[in-house]
Amino acid sequence: MDEQHSHEVEFIVIDDHADFGNEELKNPRNTGTLIDLDSSGTGMLTHVPLQPGDMVRLGLGDASKTGVIMWSVESSNKFRVQMRFV
């Protein structure tokens, strides 16, 4: 699953207070560009101001991956984040 190129992805931020399985009903879909995807995590560029500790579910084709944001840096009206898969 190691990919060094980037590609667009849809994601949702998982609400700690949402019922399990109903996160998508309470959270809008967002988009980002994955960077350096591997089996342990990925980098991403997005306009969404994600913060360390946020839980995110990525849509990856027919599959999905859930991860926690480890760090976030704002640059040029975008956020560069690093996510570790859980």
For the chain, domain boundaries:
7-85
Domain 7-85, what architecture?
Answer: Beta Barrel (2.40)
Secondary structure (DSSP) of 21-77: T-HHHHS--EEEEEESB-SSEEEEEESS---TT-EEEEEETTEEEEEEEEEEEEETT
Q: pLDDT tens-digit profile of 20-70?
A: 555 544 567 899 999 988 999 999 999 999 999 999 999 988 889 999 999
User: pLDDT at position 79, please?
Assistant: 97
